[in-house]
A and B are shown apart, each in its own frame.
Chain A
Amino acid sequence: EELHPAAPVDFLQELPSYQSARRRRGGTQRRRPALLGTAGSRGTVARALQQEEGELAARPAREYPECIAEKRRLRDSQQADTEHLSRWKKWRRTSSKSLKKALSEVKGLSSYLVLWRHDIHSIEGKFGTGIQSYFSFLRFLVVLNFIIFILMFSFVTLPIIISKYGIFNSTISYISSKNIDNICTIYEPSGNKGLVYFYTYLKDLLSGTGFLEVTSLFYGYYTTDAVWISTMRYNLPLAYLLATLAYLALSFLWIIKRSVEGFKQNLVHDADPFQSYCNKIFAGWDFCITDPNAARLKHRSLQYELQMDLQEEKLKQKIAERTMKEKLRIYSLRIFINIIVISILSGCFYSIYRVTVFSQEHSSNTDNANSLVNLLVQYLPSMVITLANFIAPLIFSFLIGFEDYTPAFEIKLTLLRCVFVRLANIGVLLFSLWSQISDCGPDKCKPCGYNYKLYPCWESDVGREMYKLMIFDFIVILAVPLFLDFPRKLLVTHCSCKLIQWFGQQEFGISDNVLEIIYGQTICWIGAFFSPLLPAIATIKYFIIFYVKKIVLIHTRKPAARPIRASSSNFFFLLVLLIGLLLAFIPVGVSIASIPSSKACGPFRNFDTSWEVIPDTILQFPSGLQQILFGMASEAFAVPFFMIVCIVMFYFIALARAHKRVVEQLREQLILESRDKMFLIRKIAEAQR
């Protein structure tokens, strides 16, 4: 729209809307030449403001954008006004004030309990909010894992420990198995017998066998049916299952709460909130940066980012003007490259499958000829997965250069592919484990439902695999800075040959680091059902990783040239974490509901599958409650419920569309009003001449 240079400025400054904006500015008014209509002491200005907003809706003084002296006057006038209010309203006001004061005291005290508050504050000051969001995310995972550990420990491990030591007069009860073939119940874990070499302990610690197998770390330890505490019966199988479902639900709800918190968006407007220029300019500078070097880097990265975005816009225009022939060429090239990507992925998956089968077959022979070789064979799946997780992103970032997307989309697509590779690798490992366990060839699992000869206690085996994955991941995360980053930094600072300087220092790539942690967290979620103390190991692991990453950040890395912003990075971390959690539901769900639980160990010996505990317990409820619960799970309830949910959803979609239309109409009206205003002002100015 064309501007109206003829509109005289002093008329504009007389308008009521301009006056109210200036009145609210209070303090700086004194230094300006008095204009028409701005006379009047500041006391009356403040009172006029309050009268605008209505008496009862008066906000507390500190929410007014004035200086402290002015706020003091406002508060005094507020209090003077309340003198003539009724007693009820006075009491309500004072009680709400004291409540707010108490809440702020509690908040002030609880801020001392926050873990690593000072560390994260200093990181924020030196590196900006983008990198700080990574460390806040790490802190969130430490707390989440700790709470999951407390949950599993107090409901599953603690009762057994109490009964093993006979505290509170407690005992364990074992119900004899009913119609289970005796052959399914043979299970002899090789806890260490007699004199063994010291390195056997180390080997056992690393591979989860030997003495570790019979500890409370793994599922096989919990072979009880009930715990009697004085005269109360504590149903351990039910507690185990419910604790598992509880930690999955808790993680889900907490992640959703965190992702909604920082994301109060007006979803009516279509534009992408993270890519908008206004977001980059008005919220572009991190006011918490205290280090001049970091500020210089921030200036440079802002300049780079703005230039990239402007170029990308021009590129989008060019893309829109592509000819049909060019489009055809590019689409066929993209399809070809996607086929290459899929074939690389299938290659990864197939190799993981083969290696897992090989490792399972060869680690079950206990000849111990060369225990180092045995250890390597056991860790083979972990090594292959880590290798695949390292190589695949490099190949993807190389290939995407040929696909001719805009730079922002390139980053997103590469990230998506890397996430998929990492999470799918775990899925393939579990799938190959299950194919081994349910390998019902010629009569191998007839009596028990699973391959009882190789896996008498298959849940412990799965737990062991997850444990090994976690330990190996931890070793890799510790080894990479020690053997790659520090030598690289030493080389770069002391050797000035051209090749090494061109390599340069490594950037602190946030996405790679985040994918690493999320991979570890997904393993923890899957493994916590099979190995209840795994969350404790995860807590300790992330605790140590925080300090390792902090040291690495401060000493060896330089901040990335194109940083991710704090809000979009928070959203991205939580989104990928949610995908990891949803993917973790699948293996745990299949194990609980579909694969027969092992009859030789564990709390679910006397049930067909682990899930059966729940129908079994419901059958012991009074019959009225039983009918309600069974009714809720039947189709007669599910179909109408689904239909009602659909209707409610359609209603909200229609409401959102109606709101969007209203917003568009109001915008058009504003534009027309503004034009009318300019027109009228010009007419008045002309008439005055």
Chain B
Amino acid sequence: GAMGGSASLIPGDLLREYQELTFLSKQEILLAYKRFSELLPKEERENACSARVPKSQILTLPELRANPFQHRICHVFSTSEAGDDSMSFEDFLDMLSVFSDSATSDIKSHYAFRIFDFDDDGILDRKDLEQLVNCLTGQGEESRLSSAEMEQLIQNIVEESDIDKDGTINLSEFQHVVSRSPDFASSFKIVL
């Protein structure tokens, strides 16, 4: 059947290696392979394991197209040398592995920190938090919070999570506050 067909396209030892290096099960890896090769033009589908898919194609996936963090996700998981945020199959698997059910909360919070760090400087400062809140409330002028509300909100967030009181949230503080957040594990999840 279809499962048998795609299983023959990933060699068995590569499949086992992916199972070992990610949190995905065999069925999930095969499904990911199927969806990834559908993003490629027909000629390149034979070499799906080594092809790169441009960002615009990745963003057509239903799991990502409605996501306000789609650009950050592509940026964080892409290992492209050219800086164009294109993803290879291994990058795609990495992404699914982090977002899967069995990933440890350590890994999830680590990558969540990287996704929320819009300026890539290793800490979440006020500008990052402001952009994060704007992503959550939606694009468009009327869906943003007023500046007074934004100020109050960021003040509250920093107060709750900044332990060393330096006005920014570093990785350990973020991981600490997220470990006590009951919704994180169930919301930071993508299943194909």
Contacts and interface: CB of A to CB of B under 8 A. Distances in A.
Given A62-B20, A273-B181, A290 B187 contact: no
Interface string B106-121: 1100111010100010
A273 B145 contact: no
B182 A277 contact: no
A271 B157 CA distance: 13
Given A75-B20, A282-B178, A289 B167 contact: no
A68 interface: yes
B62 interface: yes
A288 B187 CA distance: 7
A8 interface: no
Contact of A104 (B25, B143, B187): B25
Interface string A256-292: 0000001101100101011011110111111111111
A283 B181 contact: yes
Contacts of B167: 1, 3
Interface residues of B, number: 78
A313 B152 CA distance: 10
Interface in B126-177: 129, 132-133, 135-138, 143, 145, 149, 152-153, 156-157, 160-161, 163-167, 170-171, 174, 177
Contacts of A61: 20-21
A72 B93 CA distance: 14
Contact of A266 (B18, B107, B180): B180
B97 interface: yes
A68 B22 contact: yes
B8 interface: no
Interface in A666-689: 667, 670-671, 673-675, 678
Nearest to B159: A277
A673 B191 CA distance: 42
Contacts of B112: 282
A197 B83 CA distance: 82
B17 interface: yes
B50 to A, nearest CB: 12
A125 B64 CA distance: 11
B66 A291 contact: yes
A477 interface: no
Nearest to A27: B79
A75 B25 CA distance: 19
A67 B76 CA distance: 10
A11 B138 CA distance: 37
A31 B22 contact: no
Given A67-B91, A68-B93, A265-B180, A285 B136 contact: yes
A283 B191 contact: no
Contacts of A566: 183, 186-187
Interface string B73-107: 00011010101000000110110010100101011
A62 B66 contact: no
B38 interface: no
Contacts of A278: 157, 160-161, 177-178, 181
Contacts of A283: 178, 181, 183-184, 187-188
A294 interface: yes
B149 A21 contact: no
B107 A299 contact: no
A675 B23 CA distance: 40
A565 B94 CA distance: 28
Interface centre among A62, A63, A568 (most CB of B within 10 A): A62
A294 B66 CA distance: 9
Interface stretch (A228-236, A303-311, A518-526): A303-311
A673 B164 contact: yes
B160 A292 contact: no
A71 B90 CA distance: 11
B179 interface: yes
Contact of B114 (A18, A25, A565, A678): A25
A178 interface: no
B68 A273 contact: no
A107 interface: yes
A224 to B, nearest CB: 49
B44 interface: no
Contact of B164 (A129, A571, A670): A670
A287 B21 CA distance: 23
A277 B122 contact: no
A134 B23 CA distance: 27
Nearest to A61: B21
Interface in B1-52: 17-23, 25-27
Given A69-B79, A302-B136, A289 B67 contact: yes
A529 B161 CA distance: 51
A427 B189 CA distance: 42
Contact of B122 (A18, A125, A292): A18
Chain B CB within 10 Å, residue with most, of A65, A287, A290, A565:
A287
A299 B122 CA distance: 27
B181 A279 contact: yes
Contact of B136 (A281, A292, A294): A281
15 contacts: A67-B77, A68-B93, A72-B21, A108-B27, A277-B157, A277-B160, A279-B184, A283-B183, A283-B188, A289-B66, A291-B62, A292-B65, A295-B68, A300-B143, A671-B163
Interface of A: 1, 3-4, 17-18, 21-22, 24-25, 27-28, 30-32, 60-63, 65, 67-69, 71-72, 75, 101, 104, 107-108, 111, 121, 125, 129, 262-263, 265-266, 269, 271, 273-274, 276-279, 281-292, 294-296, 299-300, 302-303, 306-307, 310, 313, 565-568, 571, 667, 670-671, 673-675, 678
Shortest Cβ-Cβ A-B pairs, 8 listed: A299-B138, A567-B182, A674-B164, A295-B66, A283-B183, A303-B137, A283-B184, A68-B90
Interface of B: 17-23, 25-27, 62-63, 65-69, 76-77, 79, 81, 83, 90-91, 93-94, 97, 99, 102, 104, 106-107, 110-112, 114, 116, 120, 122, 129, 132-133, 135-138, 143, 145, 149, 152-153, 156-157, 160-161, 163-167, 170-171, 174, 177-191
